[in-house]
A and B are shown apart, each in its own frame.
Chain A
Amino acid sequence: MKQLTINAYSRETAGTSSSKRLRREGKIPAVVYGKTKEPVNLYIDASDFRIALKELGNNSPVVQLKSEGGDSKTSIIKGVQRHSVTDKYLHIDFHEVAEGELIKVAVPVHPTGEAFGVKTEGGTLEYVLQAVHVRCSSKDIPEFVEADVSELKVGDSFHVKSLPAIDGVTYLDHPEQPVYSVAK
């Protein structure tokens, strides 16, 4: 799994006006927190973050957050706030993960194979869930979970309980929760 390093700088000020000033300078206000860590206000470079997200795609939220002191800590991108019209990043939440700490993340589900109902019965594969919630350590986060939908007929559903078991990963969604369904 790819892990990128993002440079973070601490900031003394907080609030609307200082955050707006940072955004005007091409920086994004951010915060990092963790189970054994007090929340710390930071800022990161907007272009750095954009490049990092492009590299990561939707597959992994894990990054190495490098502070001014020089040490980098494993963190996950917990939340990204964007402007509804301009799509500019407004604020980022990082969650610092301790060694061996179990975290809850959403992992995208990818269908494999063509459903029987789509190929021969003229149905459409509809997804109910874009991603499933899993609990695992930061180094065990899968890039995606594959769902073999090839045997689905029209009216059938693929449930969370049918997803492949992955070592160190626990699915948190209800086992009977549908992920895909084939509709006429």
Chain B
Amino acid sequence: MPALTPSRTKYRKVMKGRMRGNAKGGDTMAFGDYAVQSLERGYFTGNQIEAARVALTRYMKRKGKLWIRVFPHKPVTKKPLETRMGKGKGAVDHYVAVVKPGTILFELAGVTLPIAREAMRLADTKLPFKTRFITRDR
């Protein structure tokens, strides 16, 4: 399963940083009629995004339109197993998207409300944080 990764990055490795506060952007529905919004903070890996996307499109039987509103830009490094500490930062292992409370993760359009709700429920099982389902007329 190919994970989502950036095609090229300005810097190979970045510092951890902190993820305090709520989402400042990407917190409103912009494209579709239904969306999944994160209520917690955390790292959303490329593999998890892909797993959620597959769950969504399988249930919708490739009907409707899906927008993935997050992208894993941030590299996460890992040291090899059984390695002594030191000797510098490890190699890039995978990429993650930093998700804060309020971030819209996926948007859907072109399907009925029950199908969208069930598809988003299935996608939610692949996500590492609590989410809520929202519709355009909230």
A108 to B27, CA, bound (A): 21
Q: Is B55 an interface residue (CB 8 A)?
A: no
**A125–B102 CB distance below 8 A:** no
Specify which of A85, A87, A126 is in contact with B101 (CB 8 Å cutoff): A85
Q: Is A49 an interface residue (CB 8 A)?
A: no
Q: How many residues of B contact A (CB 8 A)?
A: 15
Interface residues on A, range: 10 to 19
**A124–B65 CB distance below 8 A:** yes
A183 to B102, CA, bound (A): 31
* Mask of A106-129 contacts with B, CB within 8 angstroms, 1/0: 000000000000000000111100
Main secondary structure on A side of the interface with B: loop
Within 8 A of A (CB), among B1-48: 22-24, 27-28, 39
**B102–A84 CB distance below 8 A:** yes
Q: How far is the CB of A33 from chain B (nearest CB, A)?
A: 23
Specify which of B24, B27, B109 is in contact with A126 (CB 8 Å cutoff): B109
What chain A residues lie within 8 Å of B138 (beta carbons)? 87
What chain B residues lie within 8 Å of A85 (beta carbons)? 22, 39, 101-102
**A125–B110 CB distance below 8 A:** yes
Interface residues of A (CB under 8 A from B): 57-58, 83-85, 87, 124-127, 183
